[in-house]
Amino acid sequence: MDKHDFVIRFAGEGGQGLVTSADALARAAAHAGYFVQTHSTFPSQIMGGPASSQVRISTTPVLSSGDGVDVLVALNQYAYDHHYEDLNPGGVTVYNAEEYDLPEGGHYFGIKADELAKSTGNARAANMVTIGAVAHLIDFNLKEIDEFITQRFTRGREGDEEIIEANIKAVRLGVDVAKSTGFTVGQLEAPIPPDYDQIVITGNAALSMGAVAAGLDFYVGYPISPATTILVWMENNLWGKNRFVHQVASEIEAINAILGAGFAGKKAMTATAGPGFSLMSEGLGLAWMAEIPLVVTSVQRGGPATGLPTKSEQSDLFTSMHPAHGDIKMPVLAPGSIEECFYAGALATNWAERYQGPVILVTEFGLAERGENIRRPNLDDVSTESRTAVSDGDTDKRYDSWDGTTSLPGMPTPGGPGAYVANGSEHDEIGDTTHLPHHHIRLTKRRFKKVDLLGGAHYEIENAEADTIIMPWGSSKGPAREAYDRLREQGEDIGWLYSVALNPLPEDVKDVLKSGKKIIVPELNYLGQWSAILRMEGYSAESITQYTGMPFRPADLVASIGERIGTGVTT
The reply to whether 167 sits near other proteins by the rule CB under 8 A is no
DSSP 303: -
Interactions with other proteins, residue window 238-257 (CB under 8 A): 239-240, 244, 246, 248-250, 252-254, 256-257
Whole-number minimum distance, CB 327 to other proteins, in Å? 18
In this structure, are strands 294-300 and 358-364 parallel, antiparallel, or unpaired? parallel
The type of residue at 476 is: S
- Binding track, positions 341-380, relative to other proteins; x by CB under 8 A: --------------------------------x--xx-x-
Size of residue set near other proteins by CB under 8 A: 72
Nearer to other proteins, 411 or 534 (CB): 411
The reply to whether 232 sits near other proteins by the rule CB under 8 A is no
Residue pair 475/304 in contact (Cβ under 8 Å)? The answer is no
The reply to whether 414 sits near other proteins by the rule CB under 8 A is yes
Q: How far apart are CA 149 and CA 24, in angstroms?
A: 9
Interactions with other proteins, residue window 193-212 (CB under 8 A): 197-201, 205, 209, 212
The reply to whether 230 sits near other proteins by the rule CB under 8 A is no
The reply to whether 397 sits near other proteins by the rule CB under 8 A is no
Residue pair 19/370 in contact (Cβ under 8 Å)? The answer is no
Nearer to other proteins, 295 or 512 (CB): 295
The reply to whether 164 sits near other proteins by the rule CB under 8 A is no
Report which of 462, 403, 466, 390 is spatially closest to residue 430, judged by C-alpha positions: 390
The reply to whether 283 sits near other proteins by the rule CB under 8 A is yes
Whole-number minimum distance, CB 289 to other proteins, in Å? 10
Residue pair 216/238 in contact (Cβ under 8 Å)? The answer is yes
Interactions with other proteins, residue window 70-89 (CB under 8 A): none
DSSP 313: -
From 71-79, 411-419, 470-478, 510-518, span contacting other proteins (CB under 8 A): 411-419
Q: From the list 89, 103, 182, 415, which residue makes contact with other proteins (rule: CB under 8 A)?
A: 415
Nearer to other proteins, 84 or 420 (CB): 420
The reply to whether 300 sits near other proteins by the rule CB under 8 A is no
Show the DSSP H helices in 33-139 as ranges. 77-83, 113-119, 126-137
Nearer to other proteins, 262 or 331 (CB): 262
The reply to whether 48 sits near other proteins by the rule CB under 8 A is no
Interactions with other proteins, residue window 130-159 (CB under 8 A): 147-148, 151-152
Whole-number minimum distance, CB 416 to other proteins, in Å? 7
Tell which phi-psi region holds residue 381, choosing left (phi > 0), alpha (psi between -120 and 50) or beta: alpha
Q: What are phi and psi of 50, to 5 degrees?
A: -65, 130
Q: How far apart are CA 273 and CA 296, in angstroms?
A: 10
Q: How far apart are CA 406 and CA 284, in angstroms?
A: 26
Identify any residues that bridge with 531 across adjacent strands, giving them in sequence order. Answer: none
From 118-126, 130-138, 423-431, 466-474, span contacting other proteins (CB under 8 A): 423-431
Q: How far apart are CA 528 and CA 546, in angstroms?
A: 9
Strand order, beta sheet including 541-545: 459-462, 494-499, 468-470, 518-523, 541-545
